[in-house]
A and B are shown apart, each in its own frame.
Chain A
Amino acid sequence: MTKDVNLMPSEAVAVQPMKKRRKKIASLDRRKARAGWWFVLPFVLGFLLIYLPMIYDSIMLTVQWKSQVTGELTFVGFDNFISAFTTKSTYLQTLLTGLQNLALDVPSILIFSLFMAIMLNQKMAGRGFFRAIFFMPVVLSTGIMESIAAMDTLSDSMSGGIDSGAAEVGGEAVGTGGLMSIADIEKMFSGMELGADVIKFITDLVNNVYDIVNRSGVQMLIFLAALQSISPAIYESCKIDGATSWETFWKVTLPILSPMILVNAVYTIIDAFTSTQNVVMSYISTVGVDPAYEGHGTEVATAMSWTYFLIVILIVAVIAAICSAFVFYQRKSD
């Protein structure tokens, strides 16, 4: 490359150096490709030497039984899968509940985070302060706070009759008590002709506000970053052309954000599905020690979680396929 730069213009036009140059660029590309492998080497090594054996072992465990005493493995075929669905029929039910929750949570998290990102993107007093508060759940609420909340629920439900005023102080006012009761909502909607399902949907949504706010931190960050990278010139020209902000949102902001909506949808599904707090995951974790499976709970639990994994992968693939048909990719500015 260095040599090419030093060439005089007259020489560069000549035919022979052209040939030479092409050859050199190819070799540089190859050298860069090799360097690329060096950069991703940690992952390649980690994947091949550590991750792949784990995955292999885990999948093998679903078709085997491990003896409690000797640790020997015996091949049992699909027995684990069969007992996952038959020994206790609650698995299928839990799976359906889990998917139902997913269908409820994903759109609400997406819409909420998009809405909040738009709010936080506008110029207003104390924006930095509000941003700091909204992103706090991103770093704080992955593990421990959730488990404490779960423990509270447990203890509250066990103890039963605590008077509500004191419970609000000691326990968790939002998570367990609920912001609104079904009765309130029913009162609100009694005038409208809405089905019981719709009312339940709305109550769930309202009661889950805390959960939704907590889980939409990363999505909010991603949307906010995308919003900030939209050039103000586009909005300016919309304004000049007389578009209202409502039209601008639907015709400009949303299409530009659409790739991020896809990314966030996939991320939300994965996040919801890998979280240990989700219904199916917590159900599976109880299966491992369940005496109903005669000491093979671990194997059945592994089989269950792989089935769950396959189902969610399928959902992710379908949603990604549907979404990508509507995604608008901005041509990269040259």
Chain B
Amino acid sequence: MNAQNLDNKPVVKRESKNKIRVEFDRTPLKDRLKAKFLSTFFLKNIVLWIFRLVLMVGISYVVLNPFLTKIAASFMAPEDFVDATVRLIPKHFSLDIYKAIISELGYFTAFKNTFLLSFITALLQTFVCCLIGYGFAKFKFRGRNLLFGLVVLTMIVPHPTIQNAMYNSFFEFDILGIVKFLKGGGIELFGYNLKELIPALENINVLPDQIRFGEYLDGAVTRYSVDMMITQNGIDVTNTFIPFIVLSLGALAFKNGLYIFLLRQFFRGVPDELEESAYMDGSGVFKTFFRIILPLSIPMMITVFLFAFCWQWTDGFYINLFYNQVKTNTVFLSWEFIDIPSSLNITYAGTQLYNTAIRNTCGLLIVLPLVILYSFGQRFLVQGIEQSGLAN
């Protein structure tokens, strides 16, 4: 085709200052269409295109279908659940389920608390994992590989395995026996208590027996307050945010090993020259990190933040573990939140289905904020992971 055209020299038809109009003999339209649409190349492509589209739409349907059925069921009135003709589109449209959940289960209080908890922990985890990931990526120190092995270990050991120990350690929270010392328990060294040498240690009692937690940190956001008991064994910090914050600070919370891994890979991809030039200009290691590296890694940090936030939001395990006293209250959007509001507790032929629909609606309301957040943040997901240069 092209060869033909090259033989016939193009004719310049009109020439102005800015435009040139060239005309040359073209192959007839019929031939051109034939060449384009009847080639094996085109046919192969169109078959592939259709195949791909069908597959994509099919799998999207598999992903979205549970949500669609749940959304459809959430707008149904009780009558629709016994009506065999109703499948996806409700006959009697009603918002009763939503109204009941929002007013009777205290959706907004639970929302506020969950948001606060998820936001604080996600922020802390992102920051701490950034620090750790950068440390692993850019500095060669002795024991680095061993330490990274330990990070992987924290990821591998399933938290249900250590849940009893975890609960106990926060039920009697005491680091290095500091609380014990301040409560007059003396200092334990190799199974020997210094208290017997220095009896004066026993008179130390600077901590109160009880702290009303609600008044200090939690009062503004929750409807209850918790007394933290302080004994010689430690402080009872369960039913507060403290276990979550402590775990986040130590990068020990849910899937933090993955975040460290991702961030390490990302920082490895950042060219060393960048830091070297900063060091040349007299910037210290930390200043370089905060002023140069962190601003660079915002997409990656958003990715990690999104993971941390969403996984904390949908978590039921830790909430159940650490908030054991407030089961009756609807404090968080978690397991306990999934309940049947009393005004909807009716008994009829479709009770089973109706209750399932109510529980599903609770679930929908729980993930709704995440869907909104995700729709804004999803472009960072691929971008962030792309930048991490995981393939190198």
Does B202 count as interface, using CB distance less than 8 angstroms? no
B interface majority secondary structure: helix
Residue of A nearest to B127 (CB): A42
Nearest 5 CB-CB pairings of A with B: A46-B250, A36-B139, A39-B135, A170-B353, A274-B158
B258-310 residues at the A interface, CB under 8 angstroms? 258, 260, 279-280, 282, 285-286, 289, 306-307, 310
Q: A39-B134, A145-B363, A169-B72 are in contact. Are A33 and B165 (CB under 8 A)?
A: no
Of all chain A residues, which has the CB nearest B387?
A225
B368, chain A: closest CB distance, angstroms: 10
Q: Is B62 an interface residue (CB 8 A)?
A: yes
Interface members, chain B 142-169 (any A CB < 8 Å): 142, 144, 147, 150-151, 154-162, 164-166, 168-169
Docked-complex contact A47 and B252, CB < 8 angstroms: yes
Contact of A295 with B by CB under 8 A:
no
- CB-CB under 8 A from A148, the residues of chain B are 338, 359-360, 362-363
Take A169-B88, A274-B158 as given contacts and tell me if A47 and B356 are in contact as well, using a CB distance cutoff of 8 Å.
no
Tell me, in angstroms, the Cα distance from A221 to B62 when the chains sit together. 19
Cβ-defined contact, A139 with B310, below 8 A = yes
Please give, as numbers and ranges, the residues of chain B lying within 8 Å of A263 by CB-CB distance. Answer: 390
Q: Is residue B247 contacting chain A, with contact meaning CB distance below 8 A? A: yes
Chain B interface bracket (under 10, 10 to 19, 20 to 34, 35 or more): 35 or more
Chain B 77-106 per-residue mask, 1 if CB under 8 angstroms from chain A, else 0: 000011010111000000000000000000
Q: Are B250 and A42 in contact (CB under 8 A)?
A: yes
B57 to chain A, nearest CB (A): 9
Return chain B residues, CB-CB under 8 Å to A33. Answer: 139-142
Q: Name 9 interchain pairs, CB-CB below 8 A, sorted by A.
A: A39-B135, A46-B249, A57-B164, A147-B335, A159-B352, A166-B353, A171-B353, A309-B158, A309-B161
Scoring B69, B128, B139, B355 by chain A CB atoms within 10 A of each residue's CB, the highest score goes to B139
Q: Whole-angstrom distance between the alpha carbons of A218 and B304 in the complex?
A: 12
For B66, list chain A residues within 8 Å (CB): 145, 149, 172-175, 210
A142, A229, A284, A298 — most chain B CB neighbours (10 Å): A142
Determine if A54 and B49 form an interchain contact, defined as CB atoms under 8 angstroms apart.
Answer: no
Interface residues of A in 141-179 (CB under 8 A from B): 141-145, 147-149, 151-152, 155-156, 159, 162-163, 165-175
CB distance B363 to A144 under 8 Å? yes
**Cβ contacts under 8 Å, A147 to chain B:** 316, 335, 338
Interface residue total, chain A, C-beta cutoff 8 A:
109
Query: Would B63 and A134 count as touching, CB distance under 8 A?
Result: yes
Knowing A45-B250, A119-B52, A259-B391 are in contact, say whether A135-B381 is a contact too (CB < 8 A): yes
A104 adjacent to chain B (CB < 8 Å): no
Known contacts A36-B140, A140-B310, A276-B317; 4 further A-B pairs (Cβ under 8 A): A54-B166, A148-B359, A224-B386, A281-B160
| A230 CB–B CB distance under 8 Å | yes
Tell yes or no: A313 within 8 A of B by CB: yes
A133 to B65, CA, bound (A): 11
* A228: nearest chain-B partner, CB-CB: B386
Instruction: Given the known inter-chain contacts A38-B135, A229-B391, please indicate yes or no for A134 contacting B252, CB distance below 8 A.
Output: no
8 Å CB contact of B156 from A54, A225, A274, A276: A274
CB within 8 Å for A50 and B132 given contacts A119-B56, A225-B391, A276-B317: no
Contact A58 B162 (CB under 8 A): yes
| CB-based nearest B residue for A40 | B135
CB-based contact A225/B147 at 8 Å: no
Say which residue of B56, B150, B169, B333 sits within 8 Å of A50 (CB atoms): B169
| Cα-based distance from A47 to B257 in the complex (angstroms) | 12
Question: What chain B residues lie within 8 Å of A47 (beta carbons)?
Answer: 150, 154, 250, 252
Contact B252 A316 (CB under 8 A): no
Contact A225 B252 (CB under 8 A): no
Do residues B389 and A229 form an inter-chain contact, with CB atoms below 8 A? yes
- The segment from B7-15, B33-41, B370-378 that touches chain A is B370-378
**Interface segment, one of A10-18, A76-84, A124-132, A183-191:** A124-132
Which residues on B sit within 8 Å (CB–CB) of A38?
Answer: 135, 285-286
